[in-house]
Amino acid sequence: MCPEQPAYPLPEGKPQLRALADRLDGAAAQPACLRDAFFHAYRGAVLMALGEAAAAVEPLERALLMRPDLPAAELDLALALAATGQVQAASALLDELRARPDLPPALRAALDRQPANREGPSATAWLHRVQLTSLVGWDSNLNNAPSVSELTLTFPQGNVTLPLAPSSLPYPGAAVLNTLQWQGLRATGSSLWVAQAEIRARQTREGGTNYQQGDLALSWLQAPAAPRQWVVRGSTTRLRFGGADLLQIGRVQAQYQWPALGSPASPLGAVADLLAGCRPTAGYELESRHYPGTPDLDGMYQGLTAGLLCARGEQAAASTFSVQLRTGRDRPESGARPGGRQDRAEFRAAWDRPLASPWPGVLGPGRLGVQWASTRQADASGYSALLANNASRAITRHAFQAEASFALGGGLALLGSVEASAQRSNLEAFSVRQRGVYLGLRWTSM
C-alpha cells in the first residue's frame, strides 16, 4: 500500500500545501504509489490547489488511465488542460462529466457542454449555465382530482353516496410548460459548491389549473476526488396553484458516499460484476412543510436514506443507474391535522443512457432518461369521521417518467417526455390517476 494516502479536505495554507506537494513528489516513484490511482488523483488535486496546472496534468492523466471512474480527477484535469491552453481537450472532458452517476444532478447539469475558457478558468471562479425549456402537451388530470365520480360519506344515520361536482372531476386538456434554470459550480480547494435556481410555470386554458414553482438549492461536496466524502445540501421550494400560495418547503440533507464497490478502497473489496462500480450512499434529511392556506396541515419530516450510484461503460457513452430508499416520519405541528402523524417509505430508481441520432445530419446524438418512484404513506390516526367511519388513511403512489432529447445545434435540443402516475388509497377521495405527454425545445447557454 502507498504510504501517502489521500486526506481531505486539503490544507488551506499555501506553505502547508507546498510541503504536502513536496512529500507527494518524493513518494511518486515508490512502486506501491505508482500503482495507486487515488494517490495520483490526490497529488493532482494538491498541485491544482497550488495553482500549478501544468504539473498537475501528468498525475491526473495517470489516475484516470488506471481508474476512469474518478469524476473529480476528470474535473481537475479539465481545469488543468484549459489553464495550459488545451481548450478542446478540456471541453471534451467537461462534456463527459454529465454522465457520471456519483455527482448530484445539479452538478452534472452544470457541467453539461461547459466550454473551457481560453485564458484558463480560475480555481475559484463560478462556472455558469442557463437553460430555458418550453414544452407543449396534454395532461389527463390538470386539477389533480380524484379518479372516482362519487364519494360515500359516513353519518350516524348511515352511509350516503353523493356525486362529485363537475369542477371536482378530472379536467383533461392542453398545457404549456416553461422552465428557466440557472446552475453554477465553484471549486474551493478540494471542495465543490453547486448552486441551482429554477422557476417553472404551467399555463392552461383554465386559469384555476395554472401553477408556478420556484426552487433554490445550494450543495457542498467535501472532496469529490476522495474515495469517501460528505455531501450537504440545503434547498427551499415555493408552489402556487390557481393563483394562491399552496406550499412552502425547506430542506436540509446530509449524505455520505463510500468508494465504488470493487475498487481497491472499497470496504467490501472485490464484489460481483453486477455491483462493480456502484457507489453506496447513506444520509439524513429534515424537511419543513408549510401550507399557507391550511396551516393545520403543516408538519416536520425527518428520515434516513440509502442508495447506490452506478455506471456502466466509458465516459460520455456511459449508462448510469441509481436507486434510493427513503424512510421517515412526518410529525404534525398542530393536533388538528387530519390523520395525525404520517409514516412514509419510498423507493426511487433512475436510468440514463446515450441515444444514437435517428436522423443523422438533422438531429445530433441524444440521451434517454427513465425514472420510477413508489411511495407508501400511512396515517397514525383516523382521517375524518365522514370518510370510512374515521379510518386511518393509507396511500400508495407509483409514478413513471421518460424523457428523450436530441441535439439540434446552436445550444438547442429537441425534447419529448411522457409521464404517468397512479395513487391508490383506502379512502377513495385520495385515489388519483394522471397521464401526460409533452414535446418542445430546450436552449442552453454557457
- 31 and 134 belong to one structural domain: no
User: Tell me, what CATH number does 329's domain have?
Assistant: 2.40.160
Beta strands 211-221 and 158-163 are unpaired
Counting the structural domains of the chain, the total is 2
- 329 and 429 belong to one structural domain: yes
Q: Which residues, in sequence order, are bridge partners of residue 77?
A: none
pLDDT at 119: 37
Rounded CA-CA distance 192/17 in Å is 18
User: Which residues have C-beta within 8 Å of that of residue 145, sequence separation ≥ 6?
Assistant: 164, 168, 169, 170, 171, 432
pLDDT per residue over 8-60, tens digit each? 778 878 888 888 988 898 888 888 888 888 889 899 889 888 888 888 888 98
pTM for the whole thing?
A: 0.73
- The phi-psi region of residue 262 (left if phi > 0; otherwise alpha if psi is between -120 and 50; otherwise beta) is left
- 339 and 405 belong to one structural domain: yes
- 91 and 199 belong to one structural domain: no
User: Is 360 buried (19+), middle (13-18) or exposed (0-12) by CB count in 10 A?
Assistant: exposed
| H helix or E strand, kind and range, residue 20 | helix 14-27
Cβ atoms of residues 220 and 232 within 8 Å: yes
Q: Is residue 373 part of a domain?
A: yes
pLDDT at 118: 35
Q: Is residue 71 part of a domain?
A: yes
- 261 and 381 belong to one structural domain: yes
Q: What angle do CA 409, 412, 414 make, to 5 degrees?
A: 105
Q: Is residue 211 part of a domain?
A: yes
Q: Is residue 118 part of a domain?
A: no
Q: Which of 323, 429, 439, 437 is nearest to 371 (CA)?
A: 323
- 74 and 134 belong to one structural domain: no
User: Tell me, what CATH number does 78's domain have?
Assistant: 1.25.40.10
DSSP state letter for 145: -
- 192 and 329 belong to one structural domain: yes
Low-confidence stretches of the chain (pLDDT < 50) are: 106, 109-110, 112-123, 264, 266, 269-272, 315-316
Q: Is residue 409 part of a domain?
A: yes
Task: Extract the C-alpha cell encoding 227.
Answer: 474515495
Q: What angle do CA 359, 363, 364 make, to 5 degrees?
A: 115
- 79 and 192 belong to one structural domain: no
Q: Which of 442, 443, 439, 446 is nearest to 135 (CA)?
A: 439
- 272 and 366 belong to one structural domain: yes
- 146 and 283 belong to one structural domain: yes
- Per the structure, the complete domain to which residue 74 belongs is given by 14-97
pLDDT per residue over 141-189, tens digit each? 999 999 988 988 888 888 898 898 888 899 999 999 999 999 888 877 7
Q: Which of 409, 403, 439, 436 is nearest to 420 (CA)?
A: 436
Q: Is residue 114 part of a domain?
A: no
- 24 and 146 belong to one structural domain: no
